């Protein structure tokens, strides 16, 4: 069981950081049309960040996968490819997430 104290601490920290980010532009950043150096840099980072962050978050969720022992990470990799193809073709995130999870859970609970 996870301790209530750590659970609360994690939630509180995330909450405060998220609020700080949403409040920040009202204090830190200038008007959208002002072209200060800081603004330029932050905008560039904001534009280039999501791609890397999301790729790294996918990697984070599967980093402890052990591909050297049975079933060699195959349920994860197969489900990931199926979910990616589903999303790429249909653009429907619920279908892709639901389909990927259903396949993965079938594989780990019923097949391997």
Partner 1 sequence: MHTTPPPQERTADRHSESGTSEAVRLTIPVAMAYIPLGVAFGVLLTASGISWYWAPISTLLIYAGSIEFLAVGFMVAGLPLYQVAFTSLIVNFRHIFYGLSFPIDRLRGRAQKTYGVFALTDETYGITSAGPGMHLNGRQITILQVVSHVWWVLGAVLGALIGQVIPESVKGFEFALTTMFLTLAVNAVRTSRSARLVFLALGAGVIGYFVDQYVIEESFLIVSLLLYMVAISWMYQKEKKA
Whether the CB-CB separation of 107 and 91 falls below 8 Å is answered with no
Residues 6+ apart with CB under 8 A from 3: none
Q: How far is the CB of 94 from partner 1 (least distance, A)?
A: 6
Measured CA to CA, the distance from residue 46 to residue 43 in angstroms comes to 5
For partner 1, the closer of residues 13 and 74 by Cβ is: 13
Query: Residues interacting with partner 1, by CB under 8 A?
Result: 1-2, 4, 6-15, 17-19, 21-26, 29, 31-32, 41-63, 76, 79-80, 83-84, 87-88, 93-94, 96-98, 100-101, 104-105, 108-109
For partner 1, the closer of residues 9 and 74 by Cβ is: 9
For partner 1, the closer of residues 50 and 69 by Cβ is: 50
Q: How far is CA 12 from CA 15, 22, 55, 60, 82, in A?
A: 5, 15, 26, 22, 36
């Amino acid at each position: 069981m996870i301790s209530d104290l750590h659970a609360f601490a994690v939630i509180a920290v995330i909450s405060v950081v998220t609020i700080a980010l949403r409040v920040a532009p009202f204090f830190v950043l200038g008007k959208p049309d002002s072209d200060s150096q800081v603004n330029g840099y932050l905008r560039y980072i904001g534009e280039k960040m999501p791609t890397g962050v999301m790729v790294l978050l996918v990697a984070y969720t599967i980093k402890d996968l052990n591909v050297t022992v049975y079933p060699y990470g195959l349920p994860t990799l197969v489900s990931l490819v199926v979910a990616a193809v589903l999303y790429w073709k249909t653009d429907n995130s619920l279908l892709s997430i639901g389909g990927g999870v259903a396949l993965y859970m079938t594989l780990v609970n019923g097949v391997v």
